[in-house]
């Protein structure tokens, strides 16, 4: 049985909108705790860590993996999840976020929110007196990339120096890979059409951070250059939930050369793995052959959402005396 893990007090009561504000040591500590939790899922060291607490789960956009994994993570730590849809609350009728956030903060210990616009989540953090956790915005998807690098760590035994190549839309996943790769010293390649590159300010920030960690940050419109010698190949849907539907045909035409297929995978290392945050559109951003192939680890990746979310909740919300006393 594992020993009770001491909490990282620098993470206590911290909101998680992106991982830009986290240190590499804090990220590594969360990943280590996640792996311990996965190895000993029924350990009493964690079962009562959040006992008596309530955490709100709010969804403006659809969710399967995030909704279920967060609810399971919350309840497996001894807390209660309070789940509701944006449009089934007063938010859907126009109540200001500043009012809802201040009220909910008196009921719950934390708020997990999936929202369309990142600015909406920043408004939540401004007015809430409890931690706010980003379950996806149009700018960042921090818990997904934490799950991704946990999967990479499990498969390779390390992260620093590995080449991770992402293909497709320069969306929240591309932005998040830049952030986490820069923090962990990875060689990150983002291959996108010129009209759909990741956020310029995120690219600039990642390049500055890379100078401290030895990471490599590369933005290209050549998918072959990105795939060559890669350890990790990743993609996401070409059309994100927050996209204007009118862009669908244009995006699909421009991004067709960035499809992850067997020919692209053959340019990577023989032991390379394939990541996709799911849901996948087979035949668009990835072929059935790759998604269901021996290099695909998408279901390990999906499972690891549970463990990284549980780890972050533990470090942010658990009380040190309660944990050590449990």
CA distances, 248 to each of 107, 173, 234, 256, 292 (Å): 41, 18, 21, 12, 25
Nearest to 304 by CA among 171, 154, 109: 154
Two tokens at 178? 């830049």
Radius of gyration of the chain (CA): 19
Helices 298-317 and 24-39, axial angle in degrees (round to 10): 110
| 206 φ/ψ angles, rounded to the nearest 5 degrees | -65, -40
Residues known to be catalytic: 114, 141, 144, 236, 277, 305
Two tokens at 41? 């899922």
Task: Give the H or E element holding residue 80.
Answer: strand 80-85
CA distances, 58 to each of 84, 110, 122 (Å): 5, 11, 15
Euclidean distance between CA atoms 134 and 170, whole angstroms: 19
Residue 211 in 3-state DSSP?
Answer: helix
- The answer to whether 231 touches 148, Cβ cutoff 8 Å, is no
Backbone dihedral region of 283: left (phi > 0), alpha (psi from -120 to 50 degrees) or beta? left
Nearest to 312 by CA among 2, 10, 64, 92: 10
- The answer to whether 185 touches 23, Cβ cutoff 8 Å, is no
Angle at 223 between CA 308 and CA 170, to 5 degrees: 50
């Amino acid at each position: 049985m594992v020993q009770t893990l001491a909490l990282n007090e620098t993470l206590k009561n911290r909101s998680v909108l992106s991982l830009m504000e986290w240190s590499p040591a804090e990220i590594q500590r969360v990943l280590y705790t996640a792996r311990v939790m996965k190895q000993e899922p029924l350990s009493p060291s964690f079962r009562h860590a959040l006992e008596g607490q309530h955490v709100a789960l709010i969804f403006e956009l659809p969710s399967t993996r995030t909704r279920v994994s967060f609810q399971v993570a919350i309840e497996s730590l001894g807390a209660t999840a309070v789940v509701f849809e944006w449009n089934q609350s007063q938010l859907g009728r126009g109540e200001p976020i500043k009012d809802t956030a201040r009220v909910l903060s008196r009921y719950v210990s934390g708020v997990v929110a999936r929202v369309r616009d990142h600015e909406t989540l920043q408004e939540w953090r401004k007015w809430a007196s409890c931690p706010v956790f980003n379950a996806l915005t149009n700018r960042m998807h921090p818990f997904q990339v934490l799950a991704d690098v946990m999967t990479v760590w499990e498969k390779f035994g390390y992260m620093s120096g590995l080449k991770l190549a992402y293909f497709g839309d320069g969306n929240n996943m591309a932005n998040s890979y830049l952030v986490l790769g820069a923090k962990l010293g990875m060689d990150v390649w983002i291959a996108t059409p010129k009209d759909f590159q990741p956020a310029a300010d995120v690219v600039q920030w990642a390049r500055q951070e890379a100078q401290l960690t030895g990471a490599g940050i590369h933005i290209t419109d050549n998918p072959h250059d990105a795939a060559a010698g890669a350890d990790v190949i990743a993609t996401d849907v070409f059309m994100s939930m927050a996209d204007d539907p009118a862009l669908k045909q244009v995006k699909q035409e421009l991004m067709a050369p960035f499809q992850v297929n067997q020919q692209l995978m053959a340019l990577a290392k023989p032991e390379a793995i394939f990541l996709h945050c799911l849901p996948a559109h087979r035949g668009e951003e990835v072929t059935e052959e790759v998604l269901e192939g021996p290099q695909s680890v998408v279901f390990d990746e999906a499972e690891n959402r549970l463990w990284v979310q549980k780890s972050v909740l533990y470090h942010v919300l658990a009380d040190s005396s309660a944990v050590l006393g449990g």
